Chains A and B, each alone.
Chain A
Amino acid sequence: MSNIERFTSILNVPGVDQYILVDRTGKIFAHAMPEPKKMAEIVSVCGFQSHAIGKDNFRYVVFSRENQENFFIFPVGKYYLGVIKQKNMNNDALAENIIQFLKDFPNRK
């Protein structure tokens, strides 16, 4: 199983509702969301802009929404990961869960 295929295990991370993994051109490598094409461009554009500001210190960007399904973007090497949060999870906890998942990911089978 390739690394990208194994990425679907991110859905087991507490608080993750939907996700999409794209590169800087917006090409989709993995996803679990109903309208991936629309989201791919946003994730790559917002990820790239955030990277331009934070450079190597860019940790994530979060967009808070009235419906509480907040939208996160994380840098993952040459990719960007977009995540939509479940309503009942707070932002800090989700961010820490994802960062931990990304740290552990290379060692997962």
Chain B
Amino acid sequence: MILFCEDCGKKNLLNSIQFITGKPGFRCSSCGYLNPYHFTPQENSILKKADFFFKEAETFPEIQGSFLFHREIGVLKNHMPEILNITDLDFLGKNLVQTYEACQSVFDDVNEMALAVADKNMIVKRMGETLFMILACKTEALPHGISEKLSRPDDHGGS
């Protein structure tokens, strides 16, 4: 990803955005200025609705946890069991998203991915260009109610 420094204008080639003092941003490789990362309007809209989806997910006993993952930034919101730390979730999110996108490069009608590991499933739903909801689930398919809401985030979640 290429981002330009707001202070000196230098082009920065980045693999990921970091959370610096709790906010997403990057430090310019040339002048060291701490640049904030600005979410797109679509990302902001989904971020606002994410808490609604987490609350909905908690009502389904099949769903054991969930987190919102940004392709460049990593974990944005986390409702997974505490046994998984943020490094685990970043690894998990990155691999799952890369797998999802690799498949979508061939089949553009992919709308959900489920990775079956032992007796659990990691389910990935794309929420926008860069955002993915990842859920740990006892079943291979998401309950219909939540699956539908995640497929059309703009139709649900209030505001």
List residues of chain A with CB under 8 Å of any chain B CB.
38-39, 42, 45-46, 49-50, 52-54, 57-67, 71, 91-92, 95
Q: Are B116 and A61 in contact (CB under 8 A)?
A: yes
Given contacts A39-B106, A95-B140, contact A63 B98 (CB under 8 A): no
Q: Bound complex: CA of A92 vs CA of B110, how far in Å?
A: 18
Given contacts A49-B102, A53-B92, A71-B103, contact A58 B117 (CB under 8 A): yes
Other than A46-B102, A64-B112, give 15 A-B pairs with Cβ distance below 8 A: A42-B105, A42-B106, A49-B99, A49-B102, A50-B95, A50-B99, A57-B117, A57-B118, A58-B115, A59-B118, A62-B140, A63-B107, A65-B107, A65-B109, A66-B111
A66: B residues at CB distance < 8 A: 109, 111
Q: Are A61 and B115 in contact (CB under 8 A)?
A: yes
A67: B residues at CB distance < 8 A: 109
Given contacts A54-B117, A58-B117, A60-B116, contact A65 B102 (CB under 8 A): no
Q: Are A59 and B116 in contact (CB under 8 A)?
A: yes
Q: Are B102 and A64 in contact (CB under 8 A)?
A: no
Q: Which 3 A-B pairs have the closest CB atoms?
A: A54-B117, A66-B109, A57-B118
* B114 sits at the interface (CB 8 A): yes
Which residue of chain B is the closest to A74 with respect to CB atoms? B116
* B68 sits at the interface (CB 8 A): no
A60: B residues at CB distance < 8 A: 116
Given contacts A53-B92, A53-B122, A95-B116, contact A46 B103 (CB under 8 A): yes
Q: Are A91 and B111 in contact (CB under 8 A)?
A: no
Interface residues on B, range: 20 to 34
* B63 sits at the interface (CB 8 A): no
Which residue of chain A is the closest to B94 with respect to CB atoms? A49
* B113 sits at the interface (CB 8 A): yes
Which residue of chain B is the closest to A52 with respect to CB atoms? B95
B114: A residues at CB distance < 8 A: 61-62, 64, 91
Which residue of chain B is the closest to A62 with respect to CB atoms? B114
Return the contact of B111 from the options A38, A50, A65, A95 (Cβ within 8 A): A65
**Interface set, chain B 60-111, CB cutoff 8 A to A:** 91-92, 95-96, 98-100, 102-107, 109-111
A38: B residues at CB distance < 8 A: 106
Q: Bound complex: CA of A60 vs CA of B100, how far in Å?
A: 14
Which residue of chain A is the closest to B110 with respect to CB atoms? A63
Return the contact of B103 from the options A42, A57, A58 (Cβ within 8 A): A42
